Amino acid sequence: MTSPSTASSTHRDGFVPFPADIAETYRAAGYWRGQALGDLLRDTAQRHPDRPALHDADGTRSYAWLDAEADRMAYGLLALGIAPGDRVVVQLPNVPEFLTVLFGLLRAGIIPVLTLPAHRRVEIEHLTALSTAVAYICADRLGDFDYRELATTVQEAVPSLRHVLVLGDHGSGTDLNSIPREEGSLPAIDPSDIALMLVSGGTTGLPKLIARTHDDYAYNATASAAVCSLTEDDVYLATLPAAHNFPLACPGILGTVSAGGAVAFVTDPSPENAFAAIERHRVTVTAVVPPLAQLWCAATEWEEADLSSLRLLQVGGAKLAEVNAREVTPALGATLQQVFGMAEGLLNYTRLDDPVDLLHTTQGLALSPADEVRVVDANGDDVAPGAEGELLTKGPYTIRGYYRAPEHNARAFTPDGYYRSGDLVRRLPSGHLVVSGRIKDVINRGGENVSCDELEEHLLAHPAVRHAAAVGLPDATLGERVCAVLVVEDTMPTLAEIKTFLTDRGLATYKLPDVLRQAGALPVTAVGKIDKKALRATTS
Ligand code: OOB
């Protein structure tokens, strides 16, 4: 079968490359090594074919096995008529096949659009149409959700979508495991070309596509592996959805493969299930979001699994409150690493040998000496050292524009190529960043700005409070009132008690909540961060 013309949508249409002169400096400095992502696996398999690459329910698979499986997957996908440069939407849970599908696509030069299991019709339809994807790879179902039904709906709405490949019971789609995989040839990969697409965290509107090149993403993964001192003795557990940048490449799955360690997966990150996987596979490193870190720490009180293999717990994706940061090592026995990153690129890590004070109170230091970080005021001018401002960044693994989004790019990037993160930070003399909130996540109470992050941090310090989120409620006189939504351990504190507690901590009067709401749980995003947008929409 030959691939129909994708004439009006070749994969580089709408891609914003690094400027050629800057790309040259990244190559000359050795950040970009001209390596295709699929070769991270090839190189490790050649170095030590017999070492474990994957631990799953059936036992352990070697690097030689994974390398051969990835090739077979690549041959099979190409034989279906999917061509190098085509986009394929991947929506898989954390199963071992994620590895063979990912590396198969990368080696075939086919571009995976990495969506999360929690995405639904609105996101998948949008991302499929935007990328003019020709195929959708999914599992049959997860929990009570049927991805085959989603596939049918998306196929009706998006004409470019020709193939539905299903892992498991394939229904009206094609069985991913039975596509023919006779040996064929693999295309030459241009390392400056798009390797894969990530989906933006999307605080406003629909998610955007983030095209990452082989060069930049290989650097992202290998430099991250170095910062975490990953070796072939490490076992990385993919706890967060594997398609998210954090577990994928920070250093995550790709960093672990480049270092020659083994990878294991859990679909259910509950303490009971994840702890059993840690014990069973002797997991050394994993990454979680703050609400999950809190849950794991609390669960060590009643779960009895042996977690002694765990040497590093990475926490990021949202601000980890200092009270919660302090709990990690005593509860789990692992070193804490705070990670402040974004799918657009820039990663900040606390270093393994940082003083505990920095581990507990900062969100880390930029990964690369070539990362350029500016902290600016509303006029775009650099703030005084240590003052709060918006983080702008560019560097060897930060995109220069979203894929097929020229209008948005004109706002989200400065004319000289910095990404405007929308994050408010302070930079310490050591270079470590402290995240103080999002530009838009403030409540305007009668003209006074209340940072939701700051208020949440104080609320979390209350012994009765497990999770907290601050949102603004419309108010006729003040414009907005401050509402604190709390998930509590046991008894709900009264508004008066909370106000006294916060006042005793020295918080200004105008920042005190006007209203308290109790919730059984807070809504979360596809990767498990507290979803403020959804909370704002449902709180009254
Ligand atoms: C990670 O990536 P995204 O793209 O899902 O979200 C990025 C945004 C950041 O701009 C920031 O607003 C927030 O998530 N964020 C944090 C944070 N880490 C991310 N806010 C405060 N403290 C942190 N430690 O979330 C991501 C990507 C790679 C590694 C880690 C996280």
DSSP of 112-167, one letter per residue? EEE--TT--HHHHHHHHHHHT-SEEEEESEETTEEHHHHHHHHHHH-TT--EEEEE
3-state secondary structure of 172: coil
pLDDT tens digits, the chain, 540 residues: what are they? 334 444 446 999 999 999 999 999 999 999 999 999 999 999 999 999 999 999 998 999 999 999 999 999 999 999 999 999 999 999 999 999 999 999 999 999 999 999 999 999 999 999 999 999 999 999 999 999 999 999 999 999 999 999 999 999 999 999 999 999 999 999 999 999 999 999 998 655 789 999 999 999 999 999 999 999 999 999 999 999 999 999 999 999 999 999 999 999 999 999 999 999 999 999 999 999 999 999 999 999 999 999 999 999 999 999 999 999 999 999 999 999 999 999 999 999 999 999 999 999 999 999 999 999 999 999 999 999 999 999 999 999 999 999 999 999 999 999 999 999 999 999 999 999 999 998 988 899 988 889 999 999 999 999 999 999 999 999 998 889 999 999 999 999 999 999 999 999 988 888 999 999 999 999 999 999 999 989 999 998
CB under 8 A, 24+ apart: contacts of 471-475: 471/443, 471/532, 471/535, 471/536, 471/539, 472/443, 472/444, 472/445, 472/536, 473/514, 473/515, 473/539, 473/540, 475/514
User: How much is the pLDDT for 362?
Assistant: 98
pTM score above 0.75: yes
Token digits for 525?
């995003």
Peptide bond into 180 cis (omega under 30): no
Q: Which of 286, 342, 346, 391 to mutate to test the pocket of ligand 1 (most atoms within 8 A of CB)?
A: 342
CB under 6 Å to ligand 1: residues? Answer: 201, 245-246, 250, 316-319, 338-343, 347, 363, 421, 423, 435, 438, 527
User: How much is the pLDDT for 204?
Assistant: 57
Contact 220, 396 (CB under 8 A): no
User: How much is the pLDDT for 1?
Assistant: 37
**Cα distance between residue 421 and residue 199, in whole Å:** 15
Ligand 1 atom 16: residue of nearest CA: 318
Between 452-460 and 322-332, two packed helices, what is the crossing angle to 10 degrees?
A: 50
CA distances from 247 to 209, 238, 243 (A): 18, 6, 7
User: What is the number of the ligand 1 atom nearest to the C-alpha of 421?
Assistant: 10
Compute, in angstroms, the gap from residue 10 CA to the centroid of ligand 1. 31
CA distances from 203 to 27, 56, 212, 393, 533 (A): 33, 35, 20, 18, 7
Q: Give me the residues paired with residue 516 across strands.
A: 484
Our measurement of the distance from residue 272's CA atom to the centroid of its chain's CA atoms, rounded to an integer in Å, reads: 23
User: How much is the pLDDT for 202?
Assistant: 61
User: How much is the pLDDT for 354?
Assistant: 98
**Cα distance between residue 190 and residue 364, in whole Å:** 33
**Cα distance between residue 240 and residue 144, in whole Å:** 19
User: How much is the pLDDT for 447?
Assistant: 83
Ligand 1 atom 14: residue of nearest CA: 317
Contact 141, 213 (CB under 8 A): no
Q: Which residue, among 348, 533, 362, 509, has the nearest Cα to 440 in the 3D structure?
A: 533
> Mind listing the pLDDT tens digit for each residue in 211-240?
999 999 999 999 999 999 999 999 999 999
Compute, in angstroms, the gap from residue 89 CA to the centroid of ligand 1. 23
Compute, in angstroms, the gap from residue 484 CA to the centroid of ligand 1. 23
Compute, in angstroms, the gap from residue 341 CA to the centroid of ligand 1. 4
CA distances from 427 to 137, 412, 481, 487 (A): 42, 22, 30, 32
DSSP of 66-114, one letter per residue? HHHHHHHHHHHHHHTT--TT-EEEEE--S-THHHHHHHHHHHHT-EEEE
At residue 372's C-alpha, the angle toward residues 191 and 228, to 5°, is 70
Sheet (strand 163-167) strand order:
174-175, 163-167, 135-139, 87-91, 111-114, 194-199, 209-213
Ligand 1 atom 19: residue of nearest CA: 317
Q: Which of 220, 315, 340 to mutate to test the pocket of ligand 1 (most atoms within 8 A of CB)?
A: 340
User: What is the number of the ligand 1 atom nearest to the C-alpha of 438?
Assistant: 12
3-state secondary structure of 537: helix
**Cα distance between residue 42 and residue 107, in whole Å:** 10
Compute, in angstroms, the gap from residue 348 CA to the centroid of ligand 1. 10
At residue 294's C-alpha, the angle toward residues 289 and 295, to 5°, is 100
User: How much is the pLDDT for 274?
Assistant: 98
Token digits for 518?
């109790």
Compute, in angstroms, the gap from residue 388 CA to the centroid of ligand 1. 18
Contact 85, 209 (CB under 8 A): no
**Cα distance between residue 98 and residue 217, in whole Å:** 18
Q: Which residue, among 35, 30, 134, has the nearest Cα to 77 in the 3D structure?
A: 134
User: What is the number of the ligand 1 atom nearest to the C-alpha of 314?
Assistant: 30
- Say how many C-beta atoms besides its own lie within 10 A of residue 305's C-beta: 16
User: How much is the pLDDT for 3?
Assistant: 43
Q: Which residue has the tokens 């026995």?
A: 333
User: What is the number of the ligand 1 atom nearest to the C-alpha of 435?
Assistant: 21
Residue 33, CB-side half-sphere exposure with 13 Å CA sphere: 12
User: How much is the pLDDT for 440?
Assistant: 81
Contact 89, 198 (CB under 8 A): no
Residue 217 DSSP symbol: H
User: How much is the pLDDT for 5?
Assistant: 42
Ligand 1 atom 22: residue of nearest CA: 319
Token digits for 324?
């919660």
3-state secondary structure of 3: coil
